[in-house]
A and B are shown apart, each in its own frame.
Chain A
Amino acid sequence: MILALVFIPLLSALAAMLIRPDRPRRRLLVATAAIHSALTAACWVSPGTAAPGAWVGLDAAGRLFLGITSLLFLAAAIYASHSLGQGRAARGRQTEEDTGSVFVNAPEAVFTACLLVFLSTMTLVVSSQHLGLLWVAVEATTLATAPLIYFHRQPSSLEATWKYLLVCSVGIALALLGNFLVVVASAAPGGAHGTLLVPDLVARGARMQAPWLKAAFVFLLVGYGTKMGLAPMHTWLPDAHSEAPSPVSALLSGALLNCAFLGILRAHSICVAAGLGDFSGQLLAGFGILSMGLAAAFIANQPDYKRMLAYSSMEHMGLLALGAGIGGAAMFGAMLHAVNHSVVKAALFLLAGNFLAAYRTKSIARVGGAIRLLPASGWLWLAGLFAITGMPPFGTFASEFTMLREAFAQGRIALAIAALVALAIAFAGMSRAFLGMALGRVPEGVVAGRERASAVLPSFVLLAVSLGLGLWIPHGWASVLEQAARLSGGGAP
């Protein structure tokens, strides 16, 4: 089952390279995404038990993140099949008014193939139970996404791609060192029986050597934290997420950051099992609050709406790290929040793509009157504002509330208040920008065609999911979230 999930996108990628005409290739993309989603749903319905010692297997956390990834990919694929068609209408040449550059796009076949490889590698990340395999998969996601970010062949995208590739590759190389240290920590005094299998490592618990495990956690946190966009290793994130084409931004923010988070969670769960939960939790919370503060500061005065969304992703990643670091019920909140943030952020990035296509600018000041020009996108954009800033009745409210309540309950008042301040600053900055874009006056000379269903529907469905999760969490979901939280060293409320 898992192997099928990994290999079907790979085979489709191969086919995508071979198919010449555009239309069947786009259908192939959507079809693969649909098959992947169907298989994922099957995994949810009948979760098989992983064989002991197997390198790949879906535990609750893996299933949760696989679900997010698959759902988002389906949405992004539908959107991409629409937006790719749009780009072709202008005979390949596009202009961006912010920089005044005229650019062409990368060949669509390569784009589609990389997108599918990206799906395959993300699936491998969430399903690997072996830290070495996890590393290989995470690095592979970096490599698969680099050409995606450089889809628009213009200098700024190139710059973003270079930063992304270099910073993330170096960061992930450090995570490899962390893996080595895990082996050292897990080995018996004679040097034998070192392992990288997560269940084995968790089972060894306190028999691991604490100093080495601590060092390993630091390296893994820095390594995968780079990929997750935790400050101060976040420098690549706003550039890459704002320069990538919108469906890719949605996947990067919504799915890939979560994959990196899962890598950190695996390391955290090993630490918790070895009795070092306090150490790793403190580190996670520290990095988390730092990222939140820094991101909020950048959101407050941000002139570029895609960058604003990127910094918002960084802020929410900080929140996830904070929740995981606090532990207990906050881990449950973090799991719930990962789901909520992913669907909302992906929806927003897809909507931002609609704005970019209509207004041809990423500048907040030059976008206005969206609810008149693009009614569906405009209203969804406003709904997305409430969802991303954690207003009830959206799911983000429930998850943020869970995390902060646990922080207060544990007596970590300062941490909770700092997080609240950061959230408030982000709320102020984002609502000012979003309201100006949605309401306001339509700039002269901007005309938009009819909104296509494929451009709006994915966002609508994603936001609806977030709303639904805010109102009612199905029992099956709750139990999966609870299992995932317990697996990652936390608890449930």
Chain B
Amino acid sequence: MNNAIDSILIFLVLTDLILLGSSRLKNAIRFVALQGLALGLLPMLAHSQGVVWHAVLLGAGSALLKGFVFPSLMNRALRETNANREIEPFVGYISSLLIGVGVLALSFWSGARLSLPWEAASLLLVPAGLFTVWTGLFLIVARRKAITQVLGYIAMENGIFTLGMVLVEAMPLLVELGVLLDIFVAVFVMGIIVFHINREFDHIDSDQLAALKEGPP
């Protein structure tokens, strides 16, 4: 049981690293989708007492959304925008990877220092979650394409979902479903906006969206 959770979490960390080091947007979409699918299993495994319908529902909903709906949305946006790889990111891929390894060690360190008031399902839960949140934030900050930023947002959400597994019992189902719904609409709206950005500007490089700033009076 514990090994299965650990394996999923390690898979999560590895896919984060792949996201940090990969330039192909199609691959990135695929790996974020795989993350979503793997995370869908977590709620079922994290419950200590057998199968709980609440957890099954949550996991299935999340897996469906993140594993199938989001990737197809993203792939559509990708097809329409004719962008298939990230060109000249603000931070290079090898440096991203090396920074990532550093942050990974840091999140393990802080995960070991934070003593939860109770035993979490796995000791890796907190470090892996923290690292995934960081990866998402890093992708949003260090990459140019609007699609990558949306992917970063989804990855960050995956991390928060993982951290949420620490307190599966305490979170009411209704709130979890509300959160999922919000994320779904957020990604949906972001997808539409990416589409519009492409139409208005003929590119989806968000760093070139810089008309609005404080100019000389």
Contacts and interface: CB of A to CB of B under 8 A. Distances in A.
State if A and B touch, Cβ cutoff 8 Å: yes
A136 B184 CA distance: 12
A142 B175 CA distance: 17
Interface string B197-217: 100110000100111101111
Contact of B197 (A162, A170, A173, A239): A162
A133 B178 contact: yes
A187 B196 contact: no
A140 B163 contact: no
Contact of B179 (A136, A301, A302): A136
Given A130-B175, A143-B182, 10 more contacts: A132-B178, A135-B179, A136-B182, A139-B179, A139-B186, A169-B190, A173-B153, A184-B167, A187-B117, A302-B217
Contact of B117 (A142, A209, A303): A209
B190 A180 contact: no
A158 B212 CA distance: 11
Interface in A148-190: 150, 154-156, 158-163, 165-166, 169-170, 173, 176-177, 180, 183-184, 187-190
Contact of B133 (A146, A177, A190, A303): A177
Contacts of B209: 158-159, 162-163
A132 B175 contact: yes
B169 A191 contact: yes
B157 interface: yes
B193 A165 contact: yes
B99 interface: no
Interface string A278-314: 0000000000000000000010011100000000000
A361 B166 CA distance: 53
Given A143-B182, A177-B160, A191 B214 contact: no
Given A158-B193, A189-B117, A143 B185 contact: yes
A147 interface: yes
A480 to B, nearest CB: 29
Contacts of A136: 175, 178-179, 181-182
Contact of B212 (A156, A180, A187): A156
B197 A158 contact: yes
Nearest to A242: B212
A120 B93 CA distance: 44
B171 interface: yes
A194 interface: yes
B153 A170 contact: yes
Contacts of B118: 187, 189-191
A192 B48 CA distance: 14
Interface in B108-142: 116-119, 133, 137, 140
Interface string B137-154: 100100000100100010
A301 B171 contact: no
A150 B211 CA distance: 15
B50 interface: no
29 contacts: A99-B211, A133-B175, A136-B175, A136-B181, A147-B189, A150-B193, A158-B200, A159-B211, A161-B193, A162-B206, A165-B186, A166-B190, A169-B186, A170-B140, A170-B156, A173-B157, A177-B160, A180-B160, A183-B167, A183-B170, A184-B116, A189-B118, A190-B117, A191-B118, A194-B169, A196-B170, A209-B117, A212-B117, A239-B212
B164 interface: yes
A126 to B, nearest CB: 17
Given A155-B211, A184-B166, A176 B186 contact: no
B189 A146 contact: yes
B186 A143 contact: yes
Contacts of A155: 200-201, 211
Contacts of B102: none
Given A150-B193, A161-B193, A239-B212, A183 B133 contact: no
A315 interface: no
Q: Return the 4 tightest CB-CB contacts between A and B, nearest first.
A: A191-B118, A132-B175, A194-B170, A136-B178
A485 B167 CA distance: 32
A177 B129 CA distance: 11
A133 to B, nearest CB: 6
A160 B212 CA distance: 8
A146 B169 contact: no
B198 to A, nearest CB: 10
B174 to A, nearest CB: 8
A59 interface: no
Contacts of A177: 133, 160, 163
A154 B146 CA distance: 18
Given A132-B175, A143-B182, A143-B185, A180 B166 contact: yes
A141 to B, nearest CB: 10
B135 to A, nearest CB: 13
Nearest to A188: B117
Given A165-B186, A166-B149, A302-B217, A150 B196 contact: yes
A335 B200 CA distance: 42
Contacts of A169: 153, 186, 190
A166 B156 CA distance: 12
A4 to B, nearest CB: 20
Given A161-B193, A169-B153, A196 B175 contact: yes
A433 to B, nearest CB: 10
With a 10 A CB-CB cut-off, give which of A154, A162, A195 has the most chain B CB atoms.
A162
A243 interface: yes
Contacts of B179: 132, 135-136, 139, 176
Nearest to A131: B175
Contacts of B116: 184
A192 to B, nearest CB: 8
